[in-house]
Chain A
Amino acid sequence: MGTMEWPLVLFTVLGETAIGIIFVLWWLDRAEVDPIFYKKAALLSGLLLALALIASLFHLGRPEYAYRAVSHLSTSWLSREILCFLFAAVAWLYFYSQVRQPKGKRRLAAGITSTFGLLGIFSSSMIYVLPRVPAWDSVQTPLFFLLTTGLLGGLTCLVLGRKTLKLSQLQELLLIVFTCVLVSILSFAIYLSMLNTAGMEGMSTVQFLLASPLFWLRVVANWLLPLILLVTYFSKQKTINANLVIMLFIACSIGELLGRALFYLSAVGISITALK
């Protein structure tokens, strides 16, 4: 069974949220967006990105040598991840400088930053696509990472802009969140069924997940509660209640953190011992 990797849980979830926020800002910027909301969200994304990068150092046995991580770009996804996140951090500085200017090219800067960030998240997920670990070795791993980006990025922007964004913009964000939750539920069901056919190690992961109270807490926080809240909202189509947004954000944040912790905890690696 895997180990609890809190630095990696924080790095991936915070990093994905930060990039998600910038991506959503780029998306919303097609129409007029409240400048105070935009500035607040941009600043928060930078703060989260910085926290994520700091958290990642605590995973290393020797953090002082972290600069060496970019020296094997030809085959190592970890090298590519670090490089992309470094570029995203530099691009964020440019992005924030544009946000502060009244006529800055903030949409272009947000596009550049989120492109590097999304490449970083994809590289991040590919680190875990290892033939040795059936729980990670599938297309689901990049999908899970990208879903976290959309879900938490969208929800953070919803929370920050709940009073200042237009109703149409808030509804658009809720639709993104709803899509992410639905795809997450469906893909996880497929993931569990695929794991059940992935040999002993895959079945061990399934058994671990189903027996873990953390997994069931995640089911409620990440899927059931948001689904009930969102279906109720879409069926009534009233104005967006601030409590709904905050509840969704808290539930999904807890769910995503638990989900990522379980991702590391439930990994069972194949250890070759059979002679042939």
Chain B
Amino acid sequence: MLKQIGFILDANRCLGCGACLKACQINHNLPPTLTWRTIRKIEDESSDGKRRFYLSSACNHCANPECMRVCPSGAYSKRRDGIVVHNSSKCMGCKSCVASCPFSVPKIHPETGKATKCLLCYDRLDLGMTPYCVKACPTRALLCQEIHSISLDQLIRLTAPLPGLRLTNPSVYYKEPRRLNY
């Protein structure tokens, strides 16, 4: 099986503090209007109870990335460790990836006019370090792991309502948030 590195977020531990988002933004010199990571507050209610949690997400480094399929200049590639890399020197800012990504991950950099996205800090991983967002997480809710090396039975993923979109096969997993019965 091919190697696939991905994020794992324990939604029960995440405080929604935004440390991951800020660490990423500052260390990658992103302008204030651009972030590679987003944090959403999610609340839902069912007969099993309520749940309220934060979902910190960045690029899903999909097994079959739509961005890579549609890019006309071949700016996207997948490394042997599964990380989807965007080579900005090849990008011409056509916005195809922005329109096609079901997770709304690629964004247009306001200064360069080119697409940009989370690269999972592959340069740091190559040196044996962890990504900036993982390092900054105060509760260790966010981890970065080789996903085939762990049991995925108890983990869930962002899932599309349409079968066509499920085929991208995202590589980011979440520990299911608990429901509270009150």
* Chain A positions near chain B (C-beta within 8 angstroms): 59-63, 65-66, 68-72, 75-79, 82, 127, 130-133, 137, 199, 267, 269-276
Task: Give B68's nearest chain A residue, CB to CB.
Answer: A75
Report B179 CB to chain A, min CB distance, Å: 12
In the complex, how many residue pairs between chain A and chain B have their CB atoms under 8 Å apart? Answer: 124
Asked whether B181 is an interface residue with its Cβ less than 8 Å from the other chain, the reply is no
Known: A61-B112, A132-B165. 13 other contacts (CB 8 A): A61-B94, A62-B112, A66-B92, A71-B90, A72-B73, A76-B72, A132-B102, A267-B99, A269-B99, A270-B162, A272-B161, A274-B158, A274-B159
- The answer to whether A275 and B113 have CB atoms under 8 Å apart is no
Question: Which 5 interchain pairs have the tightest Cβ spacing?
Answer: A61-B93, A61-B113, A131-B164, A78-B72, A276-B159
Residues on A with C-beta less than 8 A from B72 are: 68-72, 76, 78-79, 82
Asked whether B160 is an interface residue with its Cβ less than 8 Å from the other chain, the reply is yes
Overall SS of chain B's interface: loop
Residues on A with C-beta less than 8 A from B159 are: 272, 274-276
Q: Which of A59, A68, A270 contacts B160 (CB 8 A)?
A: A270
Q: Which of B69, B74, B92 contacts A60 (CB 8 A)?
A: B92
Q: What count of chain B residues pass the 8 Å CB interface test?
A: 43
Overall SS of chain A's interface: loop
Which of B40, B72, B156 neighbours the largest number of chain A CB atoms within 10 Å of its CB? B72
Asked whether B114 is an interface residue with its Cβ less than 8 Å from the other chain, the reply is yes
Residues on A with C-beta less than 8 A from B66 are: 130-132
* Chain B positions near chain A (C-beta within 8 angstroms): 11, 40, 42, 55, 66, 68-74, 90-96, 99-104, 108, 112-115, 156-162, 164-165, 167, 174, 176-177
- The answer to whether A69 and B92 have CB atoms under 8 Å apart is yes
- The answer to whether B99 and A61 have CB atoms under 8 Å apart is no
Residues on B with C-beta less than 8 A from A66 are: 92
Task: Give A267's nearest chain B residue, CB to CB.
Answer: B99
Task: Give A69's nearest chain B residue, CB to CB.
Answer: B72
- The answer to whether B92 and A130 have CB atoms under 8 Å apart is no
Residues on B with C-beta less than 8 A from A270 are: 102, 160-162, 165
Residues on B with C-beta less than 8 A from A78 are: 70, 72, 94, 96
Which of A70, A79, A276 neighbours the largest number of chain B CB atoms within 10 Å of its CB? A276
Residues on B with C-beta less than 8 A from A137 are: 164
Task: Give A56's nearest chain B residue, CB to CB.
Answer: B94
- The answer to whether B161 and A274 have CB atoms under 8 Å apart is yes
- The answer to whether B102 and A68 have CB atoms under 8 Å apart is no
A264–B102 CA distance with the chains assembled, in angstroms: 17
A72–B74 CA distance with the chains assembled, in angstroms: 5
- The answer to whether A127 and B160 have CB atoms under 8 Å apart is no
A60–B114 CA distance with the chains assembled, in angstroms: 9
- The answer to whether A276 and B156 have CB atoms under 8 Å apart is yes
Q: Which of B42, B92, B160, B161 contacts A65 (CB 8 A)?
A: B92
Task: Give B164's nearest chain A residue, CB to CB.
Answer: A131
A131–B164 CA distance with the chains assembled, in angstroms: 6
- The answer to whether B92 and A132 have CB atoms under 8 Å apart is no
Residues on B with C-beta less than 8 A from A72 are: 71-74
